[in-house]
Structure 1
């Protein structure tokens, strides 16, 4: 069964996370407390409105800075900022949506997160 890849844009909602997907020029929006619940709710709506098999849907997640640090709350904003070469206070303002990053700043943050993932994938644990 071939997977259908759809972009799921995740942003700060009023009291939770908001996700939006476009399919056949239809914008589908839902809210949930976490990304997993959001994904499941959107799959149900895509089935209801577009008759898409939920098992065929694979989302590509696009996070705003707020939702990124909500979903991956184990990330230390100060440490990520330092690795990205961004002022920690400024990244905190992005994360709280007091300010919004430019495309260039967002790309720096994205590249830093990807590098962290790459570095972590090389970790080996020794047990006695």
Structure 2
């Protein structure tokens, strides 16, 4: 009962999203990201059912390219993110459009900035005014 690490590549489709593993024949779809993630967990558990492999949520990693990430998360402005992480906004726009590919170091810097914004947002409560 060896632990498995599954990487699922996420792509935007006309009807929602799809995800697939290059290492295992696991494919799934969903109309939204949360639906896709749930579907991916179900598909992965089904694939490993006979091997009786117990999967934890952190055993499955989801990857999405910059262009598709910013296409889906339109609320995250590339210019704002560039300013937040100290990157040239034109360069980040080129990564987002796919005309340039970021180095591993740049990709980590961008992801770190996205995570930082996510943490900031998760710590905010909105006040309701009358």
Q: Output the TM-score relative to the length of structure 2.
A: 0.66
Q: 1:20 Cα deviation (Å)?
A: 2.3
- Where does structure 1 lack aligned partners over 5 or more consecutive residues? none
Contact preservation (8 Å) 1:9, 1:63? yes
Alignment partner of 1:102 is 2:103: yes
Q: Give the distance between the partners of 2:93 and 2:105, measured in 1 at CA.
A: 17
My pick for the range that moved more, 64-73 or 30-39, is 30-39
Normalised by the length of structure 1, the TM-score is: 0.66
When residues 118 and 69 of structure 1 are mapped into structure 2, their CA distance, relative to the original with a 3 A threshold, is same
Cα displacement string for residues 35-74 of structure 1 (whole angstroms, at most 9, x for unaligned residues): 456557656765776558xxx7844322211121122111
Kept after mapping to 2: 8 A contact 1:28/1:45: yes
Q: Identify, as 1 or 2, the structure richer in strand.
A: 1
Gaps of 5+ in 2: none
CA RMSD of aligned residues (A): 3.4
